[in-house]
Amino acid sequence: MSLRFRLIALVWVVLPVSLAFGSLAAWVNASRSVHVEMHAALQVARQTVQTGVERLQTARDPARYRDDLIASFNGNRHLRVWLVGANGAATLPVTERSPLGAVPAWFVRLIAVEPTTDRVPVVVGDANYGTIAIETDPRNEILEIWNEFAESLIAPVVLCALLILLIYLYIERALRPLGCLAAAMEEVGEGRYRTRIDGRLTPELARLRDSFNRMAARLAEADATNRRLNEQLLTLQDQERSELARDLHDEVSPFLFAINIDAAAASRRLDEGRAAEAGGHIQSIAEAVRHMQRQVRQMLGRLRPIGLAEFGLREAIENMVAFWRRRRPDLRYQVEICADCEDLGELLGTTVCRVVQEALSNAVRHAEPTTVTISVDCRDDLLEDRDAIRVVVADDGRGVCEPTRLGYGLIGVNERVNAVGGRLTFSSQPGKGFAVTAILPYVPVSNPLSPSLASTEP
Ligand SMILES: Nc1ncnc2c1ncn2[C@@H]1O[C@H](COP(=O)(O)OP(=O)(O)OP(=O)(O)O)[C@@H](O)[C@H]1O
Ligand SMILES: [Mg+2]
């Protein structure tokens, strides 16, 4: 059942219950008040008739005086007064009808006040002038109460109808934004992260709207980052594959061909008994194999982080430095790696390498520095509950106001650092260099570099 109908049903339940209580109280009061009213009217009438009968003793025409006395009650709305003759014959008065209409019989039964009759004999000396009968007639009083009761019902019924109408309209209006929110959620669920909710709303719903918009914006950002990283991944994969293909083509294929030729030549020479010449060809084959070993080792180095598995973190970083030193021998490179950080495990070690690789390449490419410093140390004051590995790559180059436009490099590194629960920060000032700092939670190595990796040699 919808919220709107639940609220309306609630009003429908509350209304009859409150009306029932009100009616019960009204019924008790009405019954009591009709009773009291009738009793009082009977008392007053009896008093009046008795006084009249006393006066009648001295009246010149007692029968006429009696009739006048009875007639004086005509039109009384609460009493009927009539004469019962000495022989039992009665002259009933005309019943007074109320101009206010009629009361339902069930209501009269509900009030349950029966007429009461009183009789006053009219005797003057020895003469009997009959008996005056006085009877209460509660119908008019009940009718008044009925009319009041019916009137008093109108207000709550109208109020309730209005309330239901207002609830209906208000809930309809108040819930409309929830419908929009549900539709917007569905759109986001289907991957349309640009969906936003706007418009004026109540404070509660405005909070919901703002949270939704923030969530959609974050999802849109994450989606864009994902797409970018995927594209980057594909580009890098393609790049890497074509480099490998080129290396295989340029550095391995010709040597395999040469080996094939040398092997054939050596075989021929041996068949011809010219062993000395065959030795020359075998020598060439050995050289070609050594060359291919070097090439394959280099390719493996590119496929896995720079010899981390084979040589450890220090040598992997020094390999990277050596790579740049060959290309930019004019720069000074300082490497400080604390002894505790030599074996960080594969995941942490690879992350450290990737940070250093990107920051070092950025320093050479963008900074025009004279010195690049790389430091990796273990600290216990950087994270709350555990030791941390701090990696800093700083240069003294031209710096930037702020690296506002991040390229794939720093975004990718940031992702990697976040993935291991760390954080990456940059600090730079124009003319005062650039520093990249990664703080990585230290995880003690339970599973050192796999022996299969460590022993892989070309
Ligand atoms: N050491 C540095 N000195 C000065 N500017 C830097 C330095 N490192 C990064 N930057 C600035 O930050 C920007 C973002 O670097 P990032 O590595 O993300 O991208 P990139 O090097 O331009 O491209 P990519 O790494 O994707 O090939 C750089 O374009 C550069 O402007
Ligand atoms: Mg870069």
- Tell me the pLDDT tens digit for each residue of 46-86: 999 899 888 888 888 888 888 888 888 888 888 888 888 75
Cα separation, 438 vs 436, in Å, equals 7
pLDDT for res 268: 93
Say if residues 345 and 385 touch (Cβ distance below 8 Å): no
Cα separation, 237 vs 354, in Å, equals 16
Among 195-199, 264-268, 436-440, which is the least confidently predicted range? 195-199
**Residue 234: which pLDDT band, with cuts at 50, 70 and 90?**
confident
Cα separation, 414 vs 354, in Å, equals 10
Average pLDDT of the chain is 84
With b for 16 or more beta-carbon neighbours within 10 A and e for fewer, the 342-370 pattern comes to eebbbebbbbbbbbbbbbbebbbebbebe
Looking up tokens 């919808």 gives 2
Across 33-84, where does the E strand assignment appear? 79-84
Q: CB of 355 closer than 6 A to ligand 1?
A: no
Q: Residue 422: which of 348, 350, 370 has the closest Cα?
A: 348
Nearest residue (CA) to ligand 1, atom 1: 363
With b for 16 or more beta-carbon neighbours within 10 A and e for fewer, the 226-262 pattern comes to eeeeeeeeeeeeeeeeeeeeebeeebbeebeebbeeb
Amino acid letter, 351: T
Among 146-155, 158-167, 369-378, 445-454, which is the least confidently predicted range? 445-454
Q: What are the tens digits of pLDDT across the range 198-228?
A: 888 888 888 888 999 999 999 999 888 888 8
Say if residues 202 and 176 touch (Cβ distance below 8 Å): no
Among all ligands shown, which has an atom nearest to the Cα of 426?
A: 1
Q: CB of 397 closer than 6 A to ligand 1?
A: yes
Output phi, psi for 275, to 5 deg.
Answer: -65, -35
- Residues 6 or more apart whose CB falls under 8 angstroms from that of 232 comprise 408, 412
Q: CB of 310 closer than 6 A to ligand 1?
A: no
pLDDT for res 128: 83
Cα separation, 355 vs 413, in Å, equals 6
Q: What is the dihedral of CA 195, 200, 206, 209, to 10 degrees?
A: -10
Nearest residue (CA) to ligand 1, atom 31: 403
Residue 90 Rama label (left phi>0; alpha psi -120 to 50; beta) = beta
State the closest ligand 1 atom to the C-alpha of 412, by its place in the atom list counted from 1: 18
Residue 303 Cα to ligand 2 midpoint, Å, equals: 19
pLDDT for res 30: 86
Containing 221, the helix (H) or strand (E) segment is: helix 203-247
Chain CA centroid to CA 54, Å = 90
Among all ligands shown, which has an atom nearest to the Cα of 232?
A: 1
DSSP state of 363: I
Sign of the CA dihedral running 405, 407, 409, 415: positive
